[in-house]
Structure formats: structure tokens, C-alpha cells
Structure 1
Amino acid sequence: MISYATTPTDVSRLRFAFAPLGEAVASLRMMRSDVRRRAHLPWLRQVGPKVRHADLRPLRALVPPTGYVPDFLTPGDSLGYGDLDTDLEAVRETPPERLVAEVTWMMSDPGVPPGWHRATGPVHRWMVEHPERALQVVADQLATYCGLALRPYWKRMHASMRADVHHRMRVMEKSGADAVLSSLSRHIVWRNEHLTVRSNYDFEARLDGRGMVLVPSIFCGPEVLTMLPPDQSMVVYPQPDASRLWAASEGADANPLAALIGSVRAEILETLHQPRSTSDLAAEIGVTPGAVSQHLTVLRRAGLVNNRRAGRRVLYTRTPSGESLVHGARYGGDAVLV
């Protein structure tokens, strides 16, 4: 288990951020798991052929299927900017001695499969012997991979993660930090000022007023990833229902709901698995608030969504009929409207 011992100051300094390169690393790991791949098949169908033709061998050698991934690949200094170029520049500026230390640790990590150690050993030894060159190669390959696999989808991904953060911040405003920390993942327990993450590693970090960063992730699920001192303490949690992000990406032919009611209205219904405002939907789907409002009016008149006021905000949710329609389109069979 990994345990973070907090103080009231740490809780008061709790904040959310985004980690673009963390998503790149998590997606590379996800590709190696047949179970985890299932949630991202529409994305993989588009990205897979492009990635297969790119030489990413040194980069892939740093992302084992399980175990430690060198921390320099997920720089913490740029957290909050949500910008791939900022993260890539931080990787290029990694001190060579840090690469040597972290790759050396990975080479002896018992959490990494033995077969992986044997297959990647020559690449790791080359990195340790030539760290400056290795940093340049890895940063270039990260940039290539991000260009193929993340940049075309980052606006949508960032909007989805931002909506998740906005939802949790509203929970925090209403019910406090305890409610947020207790609901991040089934692999996380918040009790007696300790945040404990299920892990094959044993470590207790004392934050001592330095605070903690919570980072939503599309690709990490069901894992919870951590970063420990002396780096910024960070917990990367899986965004709920992240697979819904790709629901509309295969087009109307692959999405019966889009063929029935139109791609934007289908995407709105898919997104309303939890309450959203018009501005939330606009940010997450990538259309104007005015257009979202018009589509919501049609969906409400059709009995597929409801709205309610929450303070100054108007939140929309699916009705039972909307739930039935989405479920029937996603899983097949008869969707009975009630």
C-alpha cells in the first residue's frame, strides 16, 4: 500500500490538474492489456495503424505492462497547464543523472515482469551509458507518439477531464474535501487523515503541508497511479465512464443512436450519465452553448432529458426514456421507452 499522511494544511492545499504526458504513458500501458483495451477500441482502431508504423522502441522500453515507469516521463512542474508542448519541453530538460537513476531503479524493479527485463535490458543499458542521447531520442519519440495518438483527440479528452474536475469541485464546495477523496476510486481509501492507495509497493509519504494534486485520467483505469516526494505528491485516478468519450468517434454508422437522432444529440445523451449544465456540455462536446441549448430543448420536448435548478446553475440529466434509448443503442436488443 502507498499511504499519504496529511495535515489540515495539506487538505486545504488539495488541487486538481491535468497531465498530458501522463495520458500518453497510460495509453501506451493500456495497449498492452487485452482487458483494458476493450474500453478504448474506437480510439485504438484509429490510432493503432498509425502507431504501428512509428519507431517507438526506446519509448516503449520505458513503459512496462506493470511496475514502475520513470517519473521524468510525467513531469510534475507543468501540472495545471494541460499543454503537451510544455510537458515535452520539461522532458527534454531532464537532468541526465535523473534518467540514469530512474532507469536503473526500473531495471531492478520486482514489479516489472522478468520477461520484460530480459527483452528491454539492452535498451536500458544503452540509456544509462548515453543519457543525453537517450533523453533526446525519448523526447522525440514522445512528440511523435503524441502527434499521432493524443493531439487529434486532446481537445475532447481535456474537455471531458475538465468536466470531471468541475463536478468534483462542486462536490467539494457542497460537502467538503472528505467527500471528494472518498469517491475517487475503489482502490483509494480516505480515513483518519491518511489517503491510502492499493499498490504492490509499500511506502508512506508525509506531506507535511506540501499539499497534493489529484489528476483525472482517461487511460489509467482501473489502476490508480501515484507520484511520491521529493516530487510533487500526486494521485492519478481513473475518470468514471471514460470509455464514453469515444462513443461518437466512429461516426453514425457505428453508433445507432447517432443515426437515429443525430451525432450531437446522441453525444449529449451519452454525456448525461451524470448531471451537466449547458456550459459543461459545450466544453465537453466541443460545440457552442447556444447549439447545445437548442439540442437540449428538442431532447427535453421528446421526453429524453430533464432539467433542474441547482443554485444559479441549471443541470440536465437523462430521463428513464433517455436511459433506455442509450442502453439499447449501446448494447443492442430492444430499448423499451417508458
Structure 2
Amino acid sequence: MLRVHFSGDDLGRVRVATRPDPLWETTLSLHRLQRGDGDLRVRKWRGAVRTRLPKAAGPLLTLVPPSGYFPDFLTPSGEDLEEQLDLVCRTERLALRRDLAVLARSRRPTPWARDLGDANPAALGALTRAARSYHRAAIEPVWNDILACFDRQRARQARLLLTDGVDGLLRGLSPAMRWKAPVLEVDYPVRQDLHLDGRGLLLIPSYFCWRTGVTLVENDRVPVLVHPSKSTFPKPCAPATAPPWPHCWGTRVRPCWRRSKAAGGPAMSRAARASPCRRRASTPRCCVKRVSCSVRVRATPCGITSRNWGRHCCARIFNRLSLLPETVTHGYRVPTPQQHLMRK
């Protein structure tokens, strides 16, 4: 677990980055590329990148494993890729050796990594070329999506800050982060304590950050906390059995019923009272057809067996019953299967 310790001065110096960090996105995307996690858009991105991954990006893969630690010198502060790569090339030899020594605990160093630890200009040049080629192939095609996701998250955090203050901002970072003043607890693979000591904290929303936050190992730089954007939070697993209507379809559904002029309630014609399905016809049910739902899932919440589902969906019956619901989903009016059959 990562524990970030705040003081009164630190709470007044919490800020959000103004633009996505190119090298943080690059390194975190390498985690997503080598692992099988991520949402649907990340999986699509992974399939596309694997077909066009350049060979020049090989040195970068030796420094960023599928999970766990990667060197701090790969993510200097900045908002421009070229400026950040220039800072990487000017990293001191002591810092290079220190970070590579930590990496060597989990994976065996290559001869190129040893040259990099000695600040060899050729090794540093190969690293910058690898970062540029990988960024061009993997990050630039989705950069507009990254910017849009970042802007939405930043606007959301601004609303939280204006409404609930810094406490609300820190509480709304991620489900894997818990604000227990004056400590922010973050689900983390190792135990680490980050004491801000009056320096404040820079929050960086990330497109490729998944589930929990990431920070630097060493405490000699500007404290940062990279966290997933709201749209990249992992969705909870679907329940084993379908919950009661209408949540079984995973969509907010509002049924719109035709109402009788006299009673003001759902219209009940003479055919409804004479129908053998009177009990079920007297209870309006919204029949939403979704590709992901089977007949059994649709029929169960309505108290109808799968065998009789087609009988209740007959266009003639629903026409005579005058029970023609419409669903309003995300602001769009969608015809139900019964209305679709009647139009034919």
C-alpha cells in the first residue's frame, strides 16, 4: 500500500496537471501492451499496436516490464516529448545507476542496460530513438482520445474542487484510493510512504493508468501521483443472476405508457380484460431488446417463461391491449420489439 502524508501546507498546494504527460502515457501504455488488462478501447488499441510495433522500440521494452517497477528517469516532469527526452539524456550517472540497480532486482540487466548505467551516449541515443519510434506508433494515433479523456477528467476534478474542496478532490480520485485525512491510501503492490513535506502534490490523470495510482520511488523530485481517468475505471463484474427489472439490462430505462383519458393510468381495453393473460397484462412491463440479453434473461423479470415469451410479444395482442411502451435510453427514444413488429 502507498501512503501519501499531507500537511496543512501540502493541502494548499495540491494541483492538477494542465496537459497529459507524454512519457507517463508512454511507459504506462507499455504495461497495457504487455498485459491483458484494460477496457475495450485499450484492447482494441493493443491489437492495433502489436501489428505495427517498430523494432527500434526494443530497448524501451527492456526497461519497462509487464508490471512492477520501471526506472524513475524515464518520466521526467514536462508536457512536451522532446523536452522530456532531452532531460532523459541529461540524467546524471548516479541517478541512472541507482534506478537500474532497483530494476535489476526483478529482471536481469542486458549489456545495453549496463552501458546505459554508465551514461554511454550511444545507449542514451538508442533510448531516445526507441521512445520516439514507440510514441509515434502507439501514442500519436490515439493522442486526440487521450486529450479528450484528460479534459473530461480535469473538468470533473475542477467541479469537485469548487464544490467539496480539496477533500472532495482527493476522495474522488479512484475507487482504489481512499482519503483518510491527512493520509491518502492507495492500493499498491509494495509498501511505500510518501511524505510531501510542504512540497504539495501534482495529480496527473492518465489514459493508460489502470485501477490504481502510480508514483515515483525516489523522493528527490516533485511529488506526483498518476491516477486513472474516470472513464478508465474498471467496471464491476456483472451479477451471476439477473437483478430485478429494469437493471438487468444494464441501462437506465424509463417506460412511457399510453394513459387512458378517464383514469389517467395505463390503458386497459376490453380485450385486455378478456385476455387469458389478464394478470400479466394488468402489470405494465417494459420489453427492451438488447443483443447481449437472451430470451431467458428478458422473460424472467416479467414473470413469464421463455416458452411463452413469443406469445406475449405478439403484435396483435399488444395492439389490442394498447400497451405500447417506449424506452428512453440516453436521451433517444427507441421503439420496442412490439412497435417494430407492428410497423411491419
TM-score tier after normalising by the smaller chain length: 0.5 to 0.7
Q: Is the 8 A contact 2:93 2:118 kept in 1?
A: no
Which residue in 2 is equivalent to 1:67? 68
Paired AA for residue 97 in structure 2: V
Deviation at 1:4, TM superposition (A): 1.5
Across the aligned residues of Structure 1 and Structure 2, the Cα RMSD in angstroms comes to 2.8
Cα distance in structure 2, aligned partners of 1:196 and 1:243: 17
Which residues of structure 1 form unaligned runs of 5+?
245-319
Which residue in 2 is equivalent to 1:55? 56
For residues 199-210 of structure 1, the aligned pairs below 5 Å read: 199-210=188-199
Deviation at 1:123, TM superposition (A): 4.1
For residues 52-201 of structure 1, the aligned pairs below 5 Å read: 53-76=54-77, 78=78, 82-108=79-105, 112=106, 117-118=107-108, 120-129=109-118, 131-201=120-190
Deviation at 1:145, TM superposition (A): 0.8
Instruction: Find the partner of 1:233 among 220, 223, 226.
Output: 223
Deviation at 1:201, TM superposition (A): 1.9
Which residue in 2 is equivalent to 1:46? 48
- Please give the per-residue CA displacement for 1:83-106, whole angstroms capped at 9, x wherever unaligned: 222222222222233222211111
Instruction: Find the partner of 1:321 among 302, 306, 328.
Output: 328
Cα distance in structure 2, aligned partners of 1:121 and 1:37: 33
Q: Is the 8 A contact 2:186 2:212 kept in 1?
A: no
Between structures 1 and 2, the one with greater helix share: 1
Deviation at 1:46, TM superposition (A): 3.2
Deviation at 1:324, TM superposition (A): 8.4
- Please give the per-residue CA displacement for 1:130-178, whole angstroms capped at 9, x wherever unaligned: 5433222111110111111112322331232022112111110111111
Q: Is the 8 A contact 1:10 1:210 kept in 2?
A: yes
Distance 1:15 1:49, change over 3 A: same
Which residues of structure 2 form unaligned runs of 5+?
235-326
Deviation at 1:243, TM superposition (A): 8.8
Which range is displaced more, 127-136 or 12-21? 127-136
SS state at 2:184 partner:
strand
Deviation at 1:55, TM superposition (A): 2.5
Deviation at 1:235, TM superposition (A): 0.9
Distance 1:65 1:325, change over 3 A: farther
Q: Is the 8 A contact 1:15 1:213 kept in 2?
A: yes
Paired AA for residue 323 in structure 1: H
Distance 1:94 1:225, change over 3 A: same
Deviation at 1:67, TM superposition (A): 1.6
Q: Is the 8 A contact 1:224 1:236 kept in 2?
A: yes
Q: Determine what percentage of the aligned residue pairs are the same residue.
A: 26
Distance 1:127 1:233, change over 3 A: same
- Please give the per-residue CA displacement for 1:53-77, whole angstroms capped at 9, x wherever unaligned: 433221101101122110111112x
Paired AA for residue 55 in structure 2: A
Deviation at 1:230, TM superposition (A): 1.1
Q: Based on CA coordinates, which of the two structures has the bigger radius of gyration?
A: 2
The alignment's TM-score, normalised by the length of structure 2, stands at: 0.64
Which range is displaced more, 19-28 or 199-208? 199-208
